[in-house]
């Protein structure tokens, strides 16, 4: 798998899932695509369909309604697929910790490969996290 992973590292296509976030992390993720940060130089691209994705980028605390969809999306994705949780919400729930509609944390639903904590994490942190995921593939 050595050669394949080395190729996969250079071309990660990201599918963004909002599992009931407060939208703060999503705005920071959109920042990643702006000219200031430009993820395309690493070959990372945001795609519109789960069938094209290599990385599932999940934000939010995981409400009960969306958590079924998150599991369904994970099963629909072509393997190998990596799951990256952005923000504090998928880990601990942050301000939604005691919410009646919370079915998280995320790793109760699907296996998570990488956490990028922060409320919201800065774009630089997210780039570093994604590159660390690339480093883990070796």
Partner 1 sequence: MIAVYTLLFPGLVFSLFCGMIAWWIERKLSALFQHRVGPPWYQNFVDFFKLMGKESIVPEDSASLMYTIAPMIAFASIVSFATVLGGAVFLKTEIAGDLILLLYLSSLISTAIFLGASASANVYAAIGASRELKMLLSDELVFIMVVLVPVAKSGFSFRLGGLFDNPAIASFSGIVAYILGLLCIQAKLALQPFDLPEAETEIAGGVEIEYSGVLLGIWKLTKGMEFFVYPLFLSVLFFGVKKGFSGLLLNVLFYFLTLILLIVMKNVNPRVTIEKMLNFFWKILSPLALIVLIIALFGG
Q: For residues 119 and 131, which CB has a smaller minimum distance to partner 1 in the complex?
A: 131
CB of 35 vs partner 1, minimal distance in Å: 5
In whole angstroms, give the CA distance from residue 29 to residue 2: 30
User: Within 10 A of 109 (CB to CB), how many other CB atoms are there?
Assistant: 20
103, two tokens: 């079915």
Q: For residues 15 and 96, which CB has a smaller minimum distance to partner 1 in the complex?
A: 15
CB of 21 vs partner 1, minimal distance in Å: 20
- Report CA Rg, the chain: 14
Residues that bind partner 1 (CB under 8 A): 4, 7-8, 10-11, 35, 38, 40-41, 43, 47-49, 51-52, 54, 76, 78-80
């Amino acid at each position: 798998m050595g050669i394949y992973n080395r190729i996969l590292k250079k071309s990660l296509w990201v599918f963004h899932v909002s599992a009931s976030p407060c939208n703060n992390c999503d705005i920071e993720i959109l920042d990643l695509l702006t000219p200031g940060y430009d993820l395309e130089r690493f070959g990372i691209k945001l795609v519109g369909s789960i069938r094209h994705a290599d990385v599932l980028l999940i934000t939010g605390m995981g409400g009960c309604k969306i958590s079924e969809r998150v599991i369904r999306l994970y099963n629909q994705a072509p393997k190998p697929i990596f799951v990256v949780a952005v923000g504090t919400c998928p880990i601990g729930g942050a301000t939604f910790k005691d919410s009646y509609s919370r079915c998280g944390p995320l790793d109760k639903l699907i296996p998570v490969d990488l956490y990028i904590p922060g409320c919201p994490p800065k774009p630089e942190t997210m780039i570093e996290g994604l590159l660390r995921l690339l480093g883990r593939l070796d």
